[in-house]
Homo-oligomer: A and B are copies of this chain.
């Protein structure tokens, strides 16, 4: 049988990547090629045509997830905002905003930890993280405030990993306050810290 009517090869590729994500999310790395293919409406042979091996599929999936996360941060960049800390603000919005997209993002980030046992993927993630971290450090904020803000964002977004998440208004308040700290770092730095 040949190509299914009404779907371009690009679409098939995407469907395979999505199916792989879905499968690994629920069944871990032991997810079968057959399972993934079937879930994408393709046979195993079809999958292999697009991705020569399972490792390649997984590597591509990791690349895809990383790129998607990056895009989500960049989408939150305010073009009108040219003050120091603009990337940090986008980062906070990306991690704390409860959009439908965000839920997928969180799940996806969780997914990546499963993939890290493959050396090539670990390297990729490491490089990507280093890059983003460097950019955040070069965002013009005092390091201590930047660290506080991003660490908190990381913590909130990693919470659903271990259980349920509180998407309530408390998170919105926290988001507003974190962003305000990036606008007025002095608020934090000039608190009457003992010692």
Contact = CB atoms under 8 A, between A and B. Distances in A.
A155 to B, nearest CB: 3
Contact of A174 (B28, B114, B144, B192): B144
A195 interface: yes
Contact of A159 (B30, B126, B154, B164): B154
Q: Which of A30, A113, A162, A170 has the most CB of B within 10 A?
A: A162
User: What does DSSP make chain A's interface, helix, strand, loop or mixed?
Assistant: helix
Interface stretch (A7-15, A42-50, A74-82, A145-153): A145-153
A151 B144 contact: no
A99 interface: no
A153 B154 CA distance: 9
Q: Which of A143, A151, A156 has the most CB of B within 10 A?
A: A151
Interface in A33-72: none
A5 interface: no
Contacts of A28: 29, 114, 117
A195 B172 CA distance: 12
A180 interface: yes
